[in-house]
Amino acid sequence: MVERRSIATLLQLPPSEDRLFGPNPSVSLNATYYEGQRSAYGRHTNPTWEAFEALIGELEGGTAVAFGSGAAATFALLLALGPRALVVADSYMGTRQLARWLGARIPGIELVEPSDLDAHLDRLAPGSVVLIETPSNPLLVTYPIATLAKRIHERGGLLAVDSTLATPVLQRPLTLGADVVVHSASKFLSGHSDVLGGVLVASDEDLVARVGEVRELTGAIIGPVEAYLCFRGLRTLAVRVERASATATTLAMRLRDRLGDTVRYPGFDSELVGPGRQQSAGGALVALELESAQQADAMLDGLSLFHHATSLGGVESLAERRGRYPGEDRIGEGLVRLSVGLEDVEDLWGDLDRALTRAGL
Ligand SMILES: *Cc1c(COP(=O)(O)O)cnc(C)c1O
């Protein structure tokens, strides 16, 4: 676990290419480069992506490859590091849909229930990649990275961790034994709900080259402006995540006092979450397993600071009934996911308190 202070400081360093010029990388809008430069064409690389990649790579402890979205990064991971890949089904809906879609075309890409993971790991084929998400979206379950990495390595496999919900401020999977980290940069990394992006980080250069090849061949690239926004978002990542996580911890505890076990929060997992553990704090997401869609909708209608919208990890607080999507097939209809932003904690609590009262909760 990197010291808080060192992450916050690291985030403010100018990219090495631009150190003499100013604190920020330039937005390089070039489809082609003059002969003799280190890139020939805009699908191969771009100096603005490289600034984002250098910073997120340093945070995670590996080499980063940026993509046009988290989904594009996951696609590259499953294709490049497969063709044998197990995707744990307790994951982002789009990741499950992608795994099913790819699995129907490429035998060997499989979606597995977490309850069956043990049995699958016992007979894992060498060279397989296993993708987990911790904490998972939207159930917020935490999975033990170091234990899983050890078991998977014993069978000659690779562990990939979608760490979107934790961010490198709270959790650094490569230091715990994972081989690859994947992020939707559309969430906390950029942090302002204004851009789509994704990134993969690995310390093994061969893995990095394999995923980079998929990006170049498929053109799943991030635009230079988007890469700049991701880079700029990283400047404030530490303060945003620390504040949002502290606020969410307070809200989750008050919600649990009121609603009991219907409240899910990674911070309640004292084995894996806490100072010095796998994940240093609970993070900014809280889930409420309300009884029905009607009850959840009544609560959402009563909110005014939390906006009813999808996505997460922005500066503004959002609430969403995830069960409204037919593809969200592993959760109850009444599950509400809260993404806590940077508003004042008492204002947010007041909003939740009024909405719960209105919904008769
Ligand atoms: C949003 C999300 C993704 C997909 O990322 P996009 O940038 O929307 O393509 C993947 N994993 C998790 C955990 C997510 O929350």
Mean pLDDT on 263-275:
97
162 pocket-lining for ligand 1 (C-beta < 6 Å): yes
Catalytic: which of 84, 96, 162, 228? 162
Chain segment 25-67, per-residue pLDDT in tens: 999 999 999 999 888 999 999 999 999 999 999 999 999 999 9
Give the pLDDT confidence score for residue 10 in this predicted structure. Answer: 87
Is residue 224 located within the same domain as residue 287?
no
Write the CA distances from 98 to 59, 265, 294, integer angstroms. 27, 26, 30
Residue 330 contacts residue 310 (beta carbons within 8 Å): no
Catalytic: which of 187, 215, 240, 264? 187
Chain segment 337-358, per-residue pLDDT in tens: 999 999 999 999 999 999 999 9
Does residue 2 register a pLDDT over 50?
A: no
Using the 3D structure, point to which of 235, 254, 279 is the last residue of a domain.
235
Q: Which domain holds residue 273?
A: 238-358
Neighbours of 339 (CB within 10 A): 28
Write the CA distances from 116 to 86, 87, 112, 144, 248, integer angstroms. 11, 12, 7, 16, 31
Is residue 153 located within the same domain as residue 65?
yes
Using the 3D structure, point to which of 184, 207, 235 is the last residue of a domain.
235
Residue type, 201: V
0.75 cut: is pTM over it? yes
The verdict on whether 19 is a catalytic residue reads no
**Nearest atom within ligand 1 for CA of residue 133:** 13
Chain segment 64-89, per-residue pLDDT in tens: 999 999 999 999 999 998 779 999 99
Mean pLDDT on 97-126:
96
Strand order in the sheet with 307-308: 263-264, 285-289, 335-339, 318-321, 307-308
Is residue 273 located within the same domain as residue 225?
no
Does residue 4 register a pLDDT over 50?
A: no
Measured CA to CA, the distance from residue 47 to residue 40 in angstroms comes to 12
Is residue 92 located within the same domain as residue 186?
yes
**Nearest atom within ligand 1 for CA of residue 136:** 13
CA angle 282, 57, 171 (to 5 degrees): 15
247 pocket-lining for ligand 1 (C-beta < 6 Å): no
Is residue 229 located within the same domain as residue 260?
no
Give the pLDDT confidence score for residue 23 in this predicted structure. Answer: 86
Is residue 284 located within the same domain as residue 222?
no
Is residue 79 located within the same domain as residue 226?
yes
Is residue 271 located within the same domain as residue 218?
no
Chain segment 104-118, per-residue pLDDT in tens: 999 999 999 999 999
The verdict on whether 187 is a catalytic residue reads yes
Is residue 20 located within the same domain as residue 45?
yes
Is residue 81 located within the same domain as residue 102?
yes
The enclosing domain of 298 has a CATH number of 3.90.1150.10
Is residue 184 located within the same domain as residue 295?
no
- Please provide the average confidence, as pLDDT, over all residues in the chain: 95
DSSP 140-152: -----HHHHHHHH
The verdict on whether 41 is a catalytic residue reads no
CA angle 163, 312, 218 (to 5 degrees): 60
How many domains does the chain divide into? 2
Using the 3D structure, point to which of 194, 219, 235 is the last residue of a domain.
235
Mutate to test the pocket of ligand 1, among 96, 186, 330 (most ligand atoms within 8 A of CB): 186
Strand order in the sheet with 63-67: 63-67, 198-202, 180-184, 158-162, 129-133, 85-88, 109-112
Does residue 130 register a pLDDT over 50?
A: yes
Is residue 185 located within the same domain as residue 310?
no
Share of the chain above pLDDT 70, in %: 98
Buried b (16+ CB within 10 A) or exposed e, 265-303: bbbbbeebbeeebbbbbbbbbbbbbbeeeebbbbbbebb
Least confident of 6-10, 177-181, 262-266, 344-348: 6-10
The enclosing domain of 65 has a CATH number of 3.40.640.10
